[in-house]
Amino acid sequence: MKYATKNLSDFLELPDRDILAKTRPFYEFTGELVSQEYHHWARILTSPSERRVKILDRYTNEVREMVMMASNNYLGLTTHPAVVEAARKALEKYGAGAGSVPLLGGYLDLHRELEQKLARMKGCEDAVIFSSGYAANVGCVSALVRKGDVVINDRLNHASIIDGCFLSGGTLRTFKHNDLASLEKVLQTTEKHGCNGKLIIVDGVFSMDGDITNLPGIKALADRYHARIMIDEAHATGVIGPNGRGTPEHFNMEGQIDLVAGTLSKALAVVGGFVASSKEVVNYLRFYARSHMFSTALPPAAAGALMAGIDVIQNEPQLRQRLWTNIEYMRTNLQRMGFNLGNSETAIIPIIVGADDLLKKVSREIHRAGIFVNPVYYPAVPKKSSRLRLSLMATHTQEDLDDTLAVLERVGKKYGLI
């Protein structure tokens, strides 16, 4: 096998006079992965994304059912009747699309109501919607951070935040994951060298590890060193906090975080992103966050569904309770079997495998056994920490969980993971 030791990062820099030349070896690489049954990206679903899905298996060319353990649809709202009905009503009333960017004619009353609802959920004065969580992070950071400013990231922050930092004119610094001493060191160095503004950015729940940021510690340091804080609530909204309002609620710190960003595509199960903050900040972002200003507003059906989804999160706490029952059950059993789950505390449960080669074989076997789990390799996670990434849902049944555990135990034993 020509590309046996290669990974995705090896095809980034392949200088050639033809800028398309790099795509040829990469095409061969992905073909080689398919021939070995190691290609587990972009599996095609022929059903809604629910607790069990039907996929068109690229290895057998047949449609088969799998237990879905790789969805961010934490509360099962993609197919919740109230959410689907609200989408249908909005579609009938407003048609398929918003027709324009929000500033120039694409701003519906539905969008405004959704912003206000999100702001209330996040305990902020106002909110602005983006076409995705990715766009929210890129737009927010690049609008607020300018030349002479410093932006300080947890090392495991999501790619969209890092991309926003690259687009901004500011200086990018990182601190060790969830390590306050490391953050303080960066803040001290920054003070010494001087700068204009400082923005600390963290994920509320980290997307590949499932642990929760130390928000009280971050806030204390931000206050001491006169920095602002932005938090990405992608995997926290609807999951943590007594009412599912996310990380600030979890730590009883609502209203104390300068910028609360998030996605509308995970627990809220549709598409879009938002930033909630003060009236002044939100007003500024409407005009300077380029991914908002230059991008068409969300489709009406999405906005309608999202309004209903926020109501479901508030009015059906039993969904979140069920999710947490499932999380505890899976974590306890996987730990009892002897898997390394890192520091996971939430619906994202990584199973650390380590070497890429081993993960490829393990993933192939799990896929064959009918469990849909994502393998995650470097550069998405640090080197030698390749992993399986499970995401739990409120709608998973006992049978779904037990079927998954049985496969993981069998495969884990076979490959020496436990």
The C-alpha atoms of residue 359 and residue 385 are separated, in whole angstroms, by 10
Based on the shown chain and the rule CB under 6 A, indicate whether residue 168 belongs to the binding site for ligand PMP: no
The C-alpha atoms of residue 183 and residue 1 are separated, in whole angstroms, by 44
Closest-CA residue to 259 (of 243, 271, 247): 247
Q: Which is nearer to ligand PMP, 134 or 372 (CB)?
A: 134
Based on the shown chain and the rule CB under 6 A, indicate whether residue 209 belongs to the binding site for ligand PMP: no
* Per-residue x/- track, 109-148, ligand PMP (CB under 6 A): -----------------------xxx--x-----------
Please select the residue that binds ligand PMP; options are 111, 158, 177, 228, rule is CB under 6 A: 158
Q: Total residues contacting ligand PMP (rule CB under 6 A)?
A: 14
Residue with tokens 């994502």: 374
Residue of 71, 131, 160, 207 marked catalytic: 207
The C-alpha atoms of residue 276 and residue 248 are separated, in whole angstroms, by 12
* Per-residue x/- track, 259-298, ligand PMP (CB under 6 A): ----x-x-------x-------------------------
Residue, CB closest to ligand PMP:
133
Tokens of 291: 């991914």
Contacts with 288 (C-beta within 8 Å, 6 or more apart), sequence order: 143, 144
Query: Would residue 39 show up in a list of annotated catalytic residues for this protein?
Result: no
Contact 343, 211 (CB under 8 A): yes
What is the SS3 assignment for 242? Answer: coil
Based on the shown chain and the rule CB under 6 A, indicate whether residue 73 belongs to the binding site for ligand PMP: no
Considering only residues 212 to 241 of the shown chain, the ones binding ligand PMP according to CB under 6 A are 232, 234-235
Query: Would residue 265 show up in a list of annotated catalytic residues for this protein?
Result: no
Residue of 177, 235, 292, 367 marked catalytic: 235
The C-alpha atoms of residue 154 and residue 176 are separated, in whole angstroms, by 6
Please select the residue that binds ligand PMP; options are 73, 160, 395, 404, rule is CB under 6 A: 160
- Least Å distance between CB 46 and ligand PMP? 22
Query: Would residue 266 show up in a list of annotated catalytic residues for this protein?
Result: yes
Closest-CA residue to 51 (of 75, 33, 68): 68
Cα dihedral 166, 167, 169, 172, rounded to 10, equals: -20
Residue of 40, 111, 122, 266 marked catalytic: 266
Q: H or E segment at 140?
A: helix 133-144
The C-alpha atoms of residue 239 and residue 241 are separated, in whole angstroms, by 7
- Least Å distance between CB 403 and ligand PMP? 26
Interacting residues with ligand PMP (CB under 6 A): 132-134, 137, 158, 160, 203, 207, 232, 234-235, 263, 265, 273
Residues annotated as catalytic are: 207, 235, 266
